Structure 1
Amino acid sequence: MDVNDAPVLDAGELLDAYKSGALTPLQALQGVTERIARRNPEINAFATLNSAALDAARESTARWQEGQARALEGVPVTVKDLIDVRGLPTRRGSKTTDPAPVAQDAPLVARLRAAGAVIIGKTTSTEFGWKSPGDNPLNGITRNPWNVAHTPGGSSAGAAAAAGSFFGPLHVGTDGGGSIRIPAAWSGVVGLKPSFGRVPQWKLGAFGPLAVAGPITRSVRDAALLLSVLAGFEKADPFSLPEPARDFGAGLEDGVKGLRIGILRHPGFDAPADEAAWGAVEEAVAILTGQGARIVEIDPALPDSGAIFSTLWGAGLAKTVAAVPQARLGLVDSGLLALAERYMQVPGLELLAAEAGRVEAAHAMAMLEVDAILCPAVPHGAPPVDAAYGDAVEALLQHWASWTMLFSLTRQPALSLPMGVDAAGLPTSVQIAAPLYRDDVVLRVARAVEVALG
């Protein structure tokens, strides 16, 4: 085994290689950075690289030699550029933000460091995380590793593109309506939106009452490993679940025999999904049925989730844009400006009604008698990078977050799992969700399908 093998290994395999002495963290970092140097010029996954990564890899190499390795000792990881990393700027994909390095890690970044992870850089985000096409005014266009003429999706564009490009095994994204799951689906990788409050966050962004941080990886096992490090109570986050750290890898291989799994065909509005999207769902159904799961159709009494989410999304982004100095508004993505103007004067009663609708949707989903839920992750394959989206709200409902927004409103855990490719050679996927706080079940069902796919 040599440095060229390191980029294609998942985190568990890297840890095994370190333990056996087949590789060191320094060698793994060399292999990953050499791959980034070769491939990233056309992918554009990074907002910035971390010059301190080399020192961190040296420390990790010494820790393995001294028998003091921690949970992610020496494993390369990236962090989305909406999250603070000490010593690096947080630009949020915007020309309007401060280019100075921040002085303090976000809570989840502090956990990564404490676990021995080697932070290799910050990955691109759409501006303030506002849309699904993976471009922003500051960093330009991030491209899909399966076909660079297509978008990887967003807003965690760089994280998904980095995972699909083998720029290390572990990547942290954020998701307020689909921003982990959509790019994971379009880039052919695993993307987990944990239950709200599972992974501590501070500072909160435009979608504070909905958004979470979570893993983007190439395997379900790596998603469980990364979640195990990120999750746990943190007093800095007022929404943090009062739970101790836990191992989400426990029970991962227990299978699905006896589980009751529902197929969701109507997420509160007439969400589109093409033949390939439903084909991926049906393939997952066949696999799970063959493993002893009981599949049922579900039709929860949901309010109009599209209208509810659109209001909360638009108002949250309007608030973000309102904080940009007037003299710098010309630097903001024109689509975001138009959306902010549209929602800048949303009445308070309308916002309260949207929040009430969100709670109604959460109640309807909580009353379902199922252990897990299957539905499409995205309505179709990854669009071209230059695809015009027209009206942003219509694009949100018809092309971007059609199937993901519901689980953000209800705060449930949900995961996008790659299922193969469509007729155009682009990734297909299925979305797996579970009742609130049953992240373990999402991972367990996803792992069963992943193993069956081989």
Structure 2
Amino acid sequence: MLDVKKTPISGADDCCLLTSAELTKAYAAGSLSPVEVTAKALERAEAAQESCNAFTLIDHDGALEMARAAEARWQAGTPLSPVDGVPATIKDIVSIKGWSVRYGSTLTDPTPCAADAPSVARMRAAGLVFLGMTTTPEFGWKAITDCLYSGITRNPWNTDVTPGGSSGGAAVAAAMGAGVFHLGSDGGGSIRIPSAFTGISGIKPTFGRVPAYPASPFGTVAHIGPMCRRPEDAEAMLAVMSGRDLADWFQGAAEFPALSAQEVTPKGKKIGVWRTPPSGYVDPEVAAQFDKSLADLAEAGAELIEFELPMADQILDIFNWHWISGARRRLDMLGEFDAGQIDPGLYQMAEQARDWRVSDYIANVNLRAAYGSEMDRALAEDFDYLVAPGAAILPFTAGEELPEDSGLSRWIEWAGFSYPINLSQQPAMSVPAGLSTGGLPHSLQIIAGRGADSQVLALAKWWAARHPDYFL
């Protein structure tokens, strides 16, 4: 097992190391109180803020009030849900009633939100305790976490390097034990990359499983999902967040397969091995560790089959048309502003789309549909799963968009194991897969067909049981 004295969760009280199921079992028995757990989680939040700048808000009074209400419900034997009283955080990009949600920007309205976003409303209805809001780059535009509004967020494994992004604050909070459930968003890897960089478990669910409102300016590549230390907590959190909400028209009318606590082993499964991203490069140490993960799957009886991403030479351009158009839309929503008040990289990227033709955008929407159809077919007919590294590279210098001397021009290029699955909208989860020679986390990404979120979670839970030493 990992020695917690040498990991980001070092110094945490024992109750901060527990899963949601362990906490609520203790609540029901009266051996732990939601108030006691929340107080300890708030201490961890302060530690995460002091060392890594993970929060834009820590709401001590509000969290303790919610915890006292949960405690009373458990004492009366009337919890709101199986996870009542579990501490959680919300990314500063999703509406929370009574909190000022700024999207990591100095240009947004500081007026407190009048209502919860659907995902937050479901979390509140389940009795979760909201500790605070976690950091994001401005409007979640990149896969690292820094902005003019809240500064640079750092990785608790090594504060010289980035935790990734855009859900970097949520990843840090999870890794440091500042709550059990952490709401993140993922438009091009923003759950999976920071999960990979900080050694936690984060799932980008099937698009539409978790309702989103207001709709993201980045459109239907943007997903909302859970980030937790362990897969079983991600499963429990996703169950809370999932469901139909009439405010989110993009969900469609079809019902998703219900989440179920499946048990799966790799034995007899056809697993596609995705080694080559459509852009960027793979760090040799990442590739070597991925081979070790593949050997584990093969030893457990999986049939490993090499997989080539369909339309690989077009995928980066297709994603750029979606993502950069979304960035342009997001800045247009601000009205007039001084370019010096916004992240220069975001501004430069959005400017690329100023004169783009709508007909070209629609052409790329149709190309995306053709690619998505190929991915659906692969996971319906050829494979039970795909696997890939959670990130193609290891964490690099905090505050930088690109690794030094990478030769790349934008973060999207090194996120090549992430954004293709935003385009295809399939569930994908990053789980820990050991440590690098420099003591930074490696990761494994598990992907399945649309709607097969339970299948992804089941294999992730098997992986965690097989490799308990990888997990915090």
TM-score interval (norm. to shorter):
over 0.9
Q: Shift of residue 249 of structure 1?
A: 4.8
For residue 280 of structure 1, the aligned residue among 271, 279, 289 is: 289
For residue 23 of structure 2, the aligned residue among 14, 27, 31 is: 14
Correspondence for 2:430? 416
Q: Shift of residue 47 of structure 1?
A: 1.2
Q: Is the 8 A contact 1:310 1:393 kept in 2?
A: no
Q: Is the 8 A contact 1:132 1:182 kept in 2?
A: yes
Q: Shift of residue 395 of structure 1?
A: 2.7
Residue 229 of structure 1 pairs with residue 240 of structure 2: yes
Amino acid at match of 1:53: A
Residue 380 of structure 1 pairs with residue 393 of structure 2: yes
1:295-306 to structure 2, matched below 5 A, reads 295-303=304-312, 304-306=314-316
For residues 270 and 335 of structure 1, the distance between their equivalents in structure 2, rounded to whole angstroms, comes to 19
Correspondence for 2:4? none
1:392-407 to structure 2, matched below 5 A, reads 394-399=409-414, 401-407=415-421
Q: Shift of residue 264 of structure 1?
A: 1.3
Residue 53 of structure 1 pairs with residue 57 of structure 2: no
SS in 2 for 1:122: strand
SS in 2 for 1:216: strand
For residue 457 of structure 2, the aligned residue among 443, 447, 451 is: 443
Kindly provide the CA deviation profile for residues 3-30 of structure 1, in whole angstroms up to 9, marking residues without a partner as x: 9322221212211221222210000001
Q: Return closer, same or farther for 1:84/1:397 CA change in 2, 3 Å cut-off.
A: closer
Amino acid at match of 1:8: L
For residues 10 and 114 of structure 1, the distance between their equivalents in structure 2, rounded to whole angstroms, comes to 20
Residue 342 of structure 1 pairs with residue 347 of structure 2: no
Q: Shift of residue 94 of structure 1?
A: 0.1
For residues 39 and 321 of structure 1, the distance between their equivalents in structure 2, rounded to whole angstroms, comes to 31
Q: Is the 8 A contact 1:94 1:332 kept in 2?
A: yes
Q: Shift of residue 275 of structure 1?
A: 2.0
Q: Is the 8 A contact 1:258 1:292 kept in 2?
A: yes
State percent identity of aligned pairs.
Answer: 36
Amino acid at match of 1:438: A
For residue 42 of structure 1, the aligned residue among 41, 47, 51 is: 51
Correspondence for 1:175? 186
Q: Please, what TM-score do these two structures have when normalized by structure 2?
A: 0.91
Correspondence for 1:289? 298
Residue 103 of structure 1 pairs with residue 118 of structure 2: no
For residues 13 and 286 of structure 1, the distance between their equivalents in structure 2, rounded to whole angstroms, comes to 32
Residue 434 of structure 1 pairs with residue 448 of structure 2: yes
For residues 105 and 180 of structure 1, the distance between their equivalents in structure 2, rounded to whole angstroms, comes to 21
For residues 388 and 367 of structure 1, the distance between their equivalents in structure 2, rounded to whole angstroms, comes to 35
> Which has the larger displacement, 19-28 or 237-246?
237-246
SS in 1 for 2:219: coil
Q: Return closer, same or farther for 1:211/1:392 CA change in 2, 3 Å cut-off.
A: farther
Kindly provide the CA deviation profile for residues 199-226 of structure 1, in whole angstroms up to 9, marking residues without a partner as x: 0010122322111100000001001111
Correspondence for 1:150? 161
Residue 24 of structure 1 pairs with residue 33 of structure 2: yes
SS in 2 for 1:105: coil
1:112-123 to structure 2, matched below 5 A, reads 112-123=123-134
- Shift >4 Å, 4+ stretches: 241-247, 390-393
For residues 407 and 120 of structure 2, the distance between their equivalents in structure 1, rounded to whole angstroms, comes to 32
SS in 2 for 1:327: coil
1:54-133 to structure 2, matched below 5 A, reads 54-69=64-79, 70-133=81-144
SS in 1 for 2:220: coil
Q: Shift of residue 243 of structure 1?
A: 6.0
For residues 300 and 339 of structure 1, the distance between their equivalents in structure 2, rounded to whole angstroms, comes to 26
Q: Is the 8 A contact 2:53 2:154 kept in 1?
A: yes
Amino acid at match of 1:146: W
Residue 239 of structure 1 pairs with residue 254 of structure 2: no
SS in 2 for 1:239: helix
For residues 388 and 144 of structure 2, the distance between their equivalents in structure 1, rounded to whole angstroms, comes to 22
How many residues of Structure 1 are paired with residues of Structure 2 in the alignment?
449
Amino acid at match of 2:350: A
For residue 134 of structure 1, the aligned residue among 142, 145, 152 is: 145
Q: Shift of residue 382 of structure 1?
A: 0.7
Structure 1 portions without partners, runs of 5+: none
Q: Please, what TM-score do these two structures have when normalized by structure 1?
A: 0.94
Q: Return closer, same or farther for 1:125/1:387 CA change in 2, 3 Å cut-off.
A: closer
SS in 1 for 2:446: strand
For residue 353 of structure 1, the aligned residue among 348, 351, 363 is: 363
Amino acid at match of 1:372: Y
Structure 2 portions without partners, runs of 5+: 1-11
Q: Is the 8 A contact 1:45 1:162 kept in 2?
A: yes
Q: Return closer, same or farther for 1:299/1:38 CA change in 2, 3 Å cut-off.
A: closer
Q: Return closer, same or farther for 1:176/1:96 CA change in 2, 3 Å cut-off.
A: same
Q: Is the 8 A contact 2:56 2:92 kept in 1?
A: yes
Correspondence for 1:367? 377
For residues 399 and 178 of structure 2, the distance between their equivalents in structure 1, rounded to whole angstroms, comes to 25
Q: Shift of residue 292 of structure 1?
A: 2.1
Q: Shift of residue 245 of structure 1?
A: 8.4
By relative contact order (CA 8 Å, sep 6+), the higher-ranking structure is 2
Q: Shift of residue 397 of structure 1?
A: 3.9
For residues 123 and 61 of structure 1, the distance between their equivalents in structure 2, rounded to whole angstroms, comes to 25
> Which has the larger displacement, 168-177 or 345-354?
345-354
Q: Shift of residue 328 of structure 1?
A: 4.2
CA RMSD of aligned residues (A): 1.9
Q: Shift of residue 367 of structure 1?
A: 1.7
